[in-house]
Each structure stands twice: as structure tokens, then as C-alpha cells.
């Protein structure tokens, strides 16, 4: 499958988080809509109101839409804007982690529970204590531990924080200063809270030095994803304003991680956002672009392509425009 394919032409879905549950691929995307809000650097034009769940029995099968599984109107602490989500399974229960602005317009992370991977998901009354920013990725390690990775700059508000606290003046680092790090935190046994303070996930260059904020083609912007391949931890992410999906490799879930290269070159549309999953012995990259909407970056369509590794465990780059 060296050519990508769109998964759901019937509606605009973005940020696809893919997992294998019950021998199927389940996909948890954001649900884009035409809100009429002008584009700005805060991302107000990405005004998502609900989540759907999709599944695939086989990579070439027709995708099944399981319908709306969570609505902003059903979340007690909701302000506005449901952004990216992800789902983890533990002991037969399913936990959806989602990012949304609270009533003070501050992004927090929430959790909703279901008895099946296709929902519906019932939200908790309050956001996760100590949570902030956007783009949660839920990762189950081979030892049974669960971690949440999160964060995003610009509209994702990560620049508001230092040492997990909001600080003034809420600014990004200067170009020659160390880039802001995505966050990693181990989850509590009940999967509903953090078991510790979130830590910085540090991304290093090949010389072992943390990436600088000005290194926009390598530094973290948003869209955390974690997967494991041949015993190594692969942290992948979007560089945002340079429009790349890159990855870094580490020896444990907390890092540090060493930058390796580009997975996906720019696509049509300002953002892309991805997940990586193994299914029936092959690896796949799920992502989105804005080709079907004619380049409207707030109306995105999810797609999939096969992902391959070389003999050294490096991911072979994919061309975002021609693949």
C-alpha cells in the first residue's frame, strides 16, 4: 500500500488516532466543520464540537462510522473547541483523553469512559487535575504501564507554562533558546488522573544537545505520538509552521529522545497530524490533508498509507504531496 487512500469522503475528519482493539483498527479523529470563524494563529477556526469513532476490519475494507460518541454539550466543564483525542484500553474499559478549552478559554485535558471501543463515551465532571495544553496521546507500554503525552505551542497554549504552572508573560522561547518540550506523564491505576507531575520529554540533536526553538524544521510544535519498534521508543510529532512530521528515538518512555528525521513531508493544508499502528504484520501511518476541501486547512480529510523501516530501524520518509 504505497499509495495513500482517503478513509471517509462523506465528512471532514482530522487528527486520526488509530489503535487495534478487538482485532480491528479503531480510529478516533477530530470532526472538522465550517464554523465561519476567521483563521488566526490561535486556531479559533478549528472549532470542533463532537467526536465520531470509525473502524476497519481490514486495511482495504470499507470504513465503518460508529456515529457521534461524545458531544461538547455533554461535557460539564466545557467551554469550546474539542481538539485532538486518543483512546486507551485497560481491563476491558476504554478511556478517551481529549483536549478542550474550559470556561476560562484555557485548554485542559479531559477523560471519558466507555465499555466498548466504539463508545459512547461518558465524560468525567472535571478535567484531569494538573492537565493543560492539547493533543493527548495515550500509550500502553509492554510492562502494562500507561503514559499520556501532550502539548502544543501557539494556539495549543504550551508557551503559557513553565514547570507545569502558568507564568507571565506567556511567551515562546527566543530562537537561540531551548525549544519547549512536549510533556509525558504516567497515569494513575484508575486511568483518570496523573500519577505524578508531567515531565519534559527532551528531544536532542545528533550531538546530544536539546533542540533550539529556532530550529523550526526539527523542534516540537504539536501532535505527539508514541509507538514501540524492536524494543525502541519512537516519539513522533508535528513541527507545525514548517509542516513536517518528524520522529526521535529513545530507550525509555520518558526519554531523552534523539532526533532521527522526517516521516512525512508537507501536505496540502497548514497542519497534518498522525498516528502509527501495526496491524496484521504491517505498519501504517494515519494522517490528514485538505485536498478534498480545496485546501481549506480547517476542513481536513483522514487518510492512510503503509509505513516501512530500513534495516537499521529508521522510518522511510513519505512524500506528503505525491504518495
pLDDT in tens, 114-148: 999 999 999 999 999 999 999 999 999 999 999 99
- Report whether pLDDT(229) > 90: yes
Has 222 been annotated as catalytic? Answer: yes
| 160 SS3 class | helix
Has 34 been annotated as catalytic? Answer: no
CA–chain centroid gap for 63, Å, is 21
Residue 115 near residue 92, CB atoms below 8 Å = yes
pLDDT of 44 reads: 81
Residue with cell 528515538: 249
Of 15, 32, 47, 86, the catalytic one is 15
- Report whether pLDDT(321) > 90: yes
Q: Which three cell numbers stand for residue 35?
A: 464554523
Residue 165 near residue 102, CB atoms below 8 Å = no
With vertex at residue 298, the alpha carbon angle to CA 297 and CA 299, rounded to the nearest 5 degrees, is: 90
Of 47, 84, 135, 222, the catalytic one is 222
Which phi and psi (to 5°) does residue 182 adopt? -65, 165
The confidence band for 215, taking pLDDT boundaries of 50, 70 and 90, is very high
Residue with cell 483563521: 39
- Report whether pLDDT(38) > 90: no
Q: How far apart are CA 102 and CA 119, in angstroms?
A: 23
Percent of the chain with pLDDT over 90: 93
- Report whether pLDDT(1) > 90: no
**Strand 257-264 vs strand 275-279: parallel, antiparallel, or unpaired?**
unpaired
CA–chain centroid gap for 20, Å, is 16
Of the candidates 253, 178, 168, the one whose C-alpha atom is nearest the C-alpha of residue 220 is 178
pLDDT of 46 reads: 82
Residue 148 near residue 137, CB atoms below 8 Å = yes
Report DSSP letters for 4-20, one per residue. Answer: -EES-TTS-EEEEEEEE
Q: Which three cell numbers stand for residue 229?
A: 519498534
Which phi and psi (to 5°) does residue 11 adopt? -160, 170
Residue 200 near residue 210, CB atoms below 8 Å = no
Q: How far apart are CA 271 and CA 237, in angstroms?
A: 11
pLDDT of 124 reads: 98
- Report whether pLDDT(41) > 90: no
Residues 267-273: what's their mean pLDDT? 94
Q: How far apart are CA 298 and CA 79, in angstroms?
A: 20
- Report whether pLDDT(35) > 90: no
- Report whether pLDDT(37) > 90: no
Give the model confidence (pLDDT) of 144-171 as tens digits: 999 999 999 999 999 999 999 999 888 9
| 212 SS3 class | strand
pLDDT of 100 reads: 97
- Report whether pLDDT(40) > 90: no
pTM of the model: 0.97
- Report whether pLDDT(269) > 90: yes
* Least confidently predicted of 29-38, 152-161, 270-279: 29-38
Of the candidates 10, 17, 69, the one whose C-alpha atom is nearest the C-alpha of residue 225 is 17
**Cβ neighbours around 146 below 10 Å, total:** 20
Give the model confidence (pLDDT) of 84-123 as tens digits: 999 999 999 999 999 999 999 999 999 999 999 999 999 9
Residue 41 near residue 61, CB atoms below 8 Å = no
Integer angstrom CA distances of residue 118 from 90, 122, 177, 186: 15, 12, 43, 25
Give the chain's mean pLDDT.
96
**Strand 183-186 vs strand 161-162: parallel, antiparallel, or unpaired?**
unpaired
Amino acid at each position: 500500500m504505497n499509495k495513500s487512500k482517503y478513509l471517509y469522503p462523506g465528512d471532514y475528519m482530522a487528527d486520526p488516532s488509530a489503535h487495534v482493539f478487538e482485532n480491528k483498527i479503531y480510529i478516533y479523529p477530530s470532526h472538522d466543520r465550517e464554523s465561519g470563524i476567521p483563521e488566526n494563529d490561535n486556531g479559533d477556526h478549528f472549532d470542533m464540537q463532537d467526536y465520531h469513532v470509525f473502524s476497519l476490519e481490514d486495511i482495504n475494507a470499507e470504513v465503518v462510522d460508529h456515529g457521534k460518541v461524545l458531544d461538547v454539550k455533554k461535557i460539564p466543564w466545557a467551554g469550546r473547541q474539542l481538539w485532538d483525542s486518543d483512546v486507551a484500553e485497560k481491563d476491558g474499559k476504554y478511556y478517551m483523553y481529549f483536549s478542550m478549552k474550559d470556561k476560562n478559554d484555557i485548554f485542559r485535558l479531559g477523560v471519558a469512559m466507555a465499555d466498548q471501543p466504539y463508545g459512547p463515551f461518558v465524560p468525567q465532571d472535571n478535567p484531569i487535575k494538573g492537565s493543560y495544553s492539547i493533543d493527548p496521546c495515550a500509550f500502553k507500554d509492554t510492562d502494562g504501564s500507561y503514559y499520556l503525552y501532550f502539548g502544543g505551542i501557539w494556539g495549543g497554549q504550551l508557551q503559557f507554562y513553565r514547570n507545569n504552572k502558568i507564568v507571565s508573560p506567556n511567551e515562546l522561547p527566543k530562537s537561540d533558546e531551548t525549544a519547549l518540550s512536549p510533556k509525558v506523564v504516567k497515569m494513575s491505576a484508575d486511568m483518570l488522573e496523573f500519577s505524578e507531575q508531567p515531565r519534559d520529554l527532551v528531544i536532542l540533536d545528533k550531538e546530544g544537545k536539546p533542540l533550539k526553538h529556532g530550529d523550526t524544521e526539527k523542534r516540537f510544535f504539536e501532535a505527539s505520538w508514541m509507538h514501540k519498534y524492536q524494543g525502541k521508543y519512537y516519539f513522533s510529532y508535528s513541527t507545525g509552521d514548517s509542516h513536517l512530521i518528524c520522529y526521535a528515538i529513545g530507550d525509555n518512555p520518558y526519554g531523552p529522545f534523539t532526533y532521527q528525521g522526517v516521516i512525512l513531508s508537507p501536505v496540502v493544508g497548514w497542519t497534518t497530524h498522525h498516528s502509527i499502528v501495526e496491524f496484521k504484520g504491517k505498519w501504517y501511518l494515519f494522517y490528514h490533508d485538505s485536498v478534498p476541501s480545496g485546501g481549506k486547512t480547517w476542513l481536513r480529510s483522514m487518510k492512510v498509507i503503509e509505513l516501512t523501516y530500513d534495516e537499521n530501524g529508521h522510518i522511510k520518509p513519505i512524500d506528503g504531496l505525491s504518495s
